[in-house]
Structure 1
Amino acid sequence: MGPLRMNGVLIITGASAGIGAATARMAAFSGWQRIVIHYGQDKAGAETTAAMVESMGAQAYLLQADVSKPKAIEKMFAKLRELKPGPVGLVNNAGIVSPHGSIGDLTPERVQKVFSVNVFGAIEVARQAVGLMRDWGQGGGIVNVSSAAARLGSAHQYIDYAASKGAIDTFTLGLADELAPEGIRVNAIRPGLIETEIHAKGGQPDRLERLAPTTPMGRAGTTEECAEAILWLLSERASYVTRSILDVSGGR
């Protein structure tokens, strides 16, 4: 077990469900001792995640923040600064999707809402996390959660969501270059068709059933498969990996 897991603080945004919750559970199982469970609205889901983390012997810290509001993120990190210092791992995962639609549906209000969480919020979370890493002086790593939509474009579905994740890809590359001299590695994963509730939230509960057979591997992925990739990128086993975007998409 490496020092990052033994002594570090793992911050997971959007950990009440889906990929975030799976990452928290697997992190506890893998030996992370202190895990921050962030949630936006789903307190019950976050509490369930926290209970599972603690059942595996790790310490869970439950924190709520609307990541579309910079002041809320700032307050969350103010609370984190009260913890015992250590290396910091960030899983920058919180994200939203609007109902599926085409260009005519992409009103300024809709696009603003998506980008306020998926881009502006993610960048501010990363900024605050880097500040924490620098203040504590024990290094760390970042994994941003993008989407295969950034490559595919998601025409007639979620072009705004896809564009927001394209921004995250570019942000990952630039931030990795900027932080590499400090020993802070920055990577991302691009999940494809994954078994989460995000499809239902986008108004297409049958999306996986329709599209999964079209992937080269012929099936949807699981949140646990995404969590494996995230935790590998944060681990010492990936010590020479930065500025990489790993597709977890079944070849799609």
Structure 2
Amino acid sequence: MLSSDAVVVVTGGGRGIGRAVSMLAAGRGYKVCLSYVSDAGAAAKVVAAIETAGGAAVAVRCDVADEADVVALFEAADRLGTVTALVNNAGVVDLPARVSEMSAARLHRMMATNVVGSVLCAREAVRRMSTRSGGRGGAIVNVSSIAARLGGAGQFVDYAASKGAIDSFTVGLAREVAGEGIRVNAVAPGIIDTEIHASGGTPDKAAALGPTVPMRRAGTAEEIAGPVLWLLSDEAAYTTGAILDVSGGR
């Protein structure tokens, strides 16, 4: 059963999948500490919606690639209650490009946010959750992508590679902390209708590719949030190191 002071940290919690996770987590009884990097207005709307529904939430500006920002994010979460859950959702894409056209700056940004940021956030979560250091356990869910196995050829090989790293990190960390009361899993979404496609220069991607998915449509952010909350819940108590495909069969 969820304790009354249980806090979930949701990175990138102001929009898309992060917003859906934040809202559903609040509805399940979590206090929500969500991060955003640029859209303070969107994050504030999520906080307001949670509070209007009787929940507790706080939004913190945090570039997850910045260690000091990550430390400050978790310190804010500590003030809400006890961190027992982390959803590593923050991530970036870029404009479609072949590897031969990619700059070092693009690659560093991609890996710093999608990989280093997730590891830093997990580090802070483990420090708080681990029974080895006096914590009471918890769960981490990393947001990966089926791009990790599809490869993103001709468009987003760097993004796919960053998500492949997340898959490996999920399995490794899960095994590392399984005896310390912490479960670590991932969800791997397919084509989901969120704002992230616009930031990658393909705002119509979900509409264009949805019909090519075996289920004949793109998914919704809410259809990812449900599996995330299941992996955080006691119903998944014996599940760790899993990468859950949520791609409509793609």
1:80 to 1:27, Cα distance in 2 relative to 1, 3 A: closer
Deviation, structure 1 residue 152: 0.5
Return the alpha-carbon distance in structure 2 between the equivalents of residues 192 and 142 of structure 1: 20
* Structure 1 residue aligned with 2:2: 3
1:124 and 2:123 correspond: no
Equivalent residue of 2:79, what SS? coil
Equivalent residue of 1:81, what SS? helix
* Structure 2 residue aligned with 1:197: 195
* Structure 2 residue aligned with 1:108: 104
Return the alpha-carbon distance in structure 2 between the equivalents of residues 41 and 132 of structure 1: 27
2:57 is aligned, of 60, 70, 85, to 60
1:71 and 2:68 correspond: yes
Return the alpha-carbon distance in structure 2 between the equivalents of residues 228 and 3 of structure 1: 16
Return the alpha-carbon distance in structure 2 between the equivalents of residues 136 and 14 of structure 1: 28
Deviation, structure 1 residue 174: 0.2
1:162 is aligned, of 160, 167, 173, to 160
Return the alpha-carbon distance in structure 2 between the equivalents of residues 96 and 195 of structure 1: 15
- 8 A contact 1:192–1:249 mirrored in 2: yes
Deviation, structure 1 residue 183: 1.6
For structure 2, list consecutive stretches of 5 or more residues without a partner in the other structure.
Answer: none
Deviation, structure 1 residue 62: 1.5
1:93 to 1:30, Cα distance in 2 relative to 1, 3 A: same
Deviation, structure 1 residue 241: 0.8
Return the alpha-carbon distance in structure 1 between the equivalents of residues 60 and 134 of structure 2: 20
| Number of residues of Structure 1 aligned to a counterpart in Structure 2 | 248
For structure 1, list consecutive stretches of 5 or more residues without a partner in the other structure.
Answer: none
Deviation digits for residues 35-62 of structure 1 (CA, Å, limit 9, x no counterpart): 1111111100100111111122111022
**Please, what TM-score do these two structures have when normalized by structure 2?**
0.95
Greater displacement, 67-76 / 188-197: 67-76
The RMSD of aligned alpha carbons is 1.3
Return the alpha-carbon distance in structure 2 between the equivalents of residues 58 and 136 of structure 1: 27
Deviation, structure 1 residue 7: 3.1
Return the alpha-carbon distance in structure 1 between the equivalents of residues 80 and 137 of structure 2: 15
Q: Percent identity?
A: 47
1:36 and 2:15 correspond: no
Deviation digits for residues 75-123 of structure 1 (CA, Å, limit 9, x no counterpart): 2223333343x35100010000011111122211110011110001110
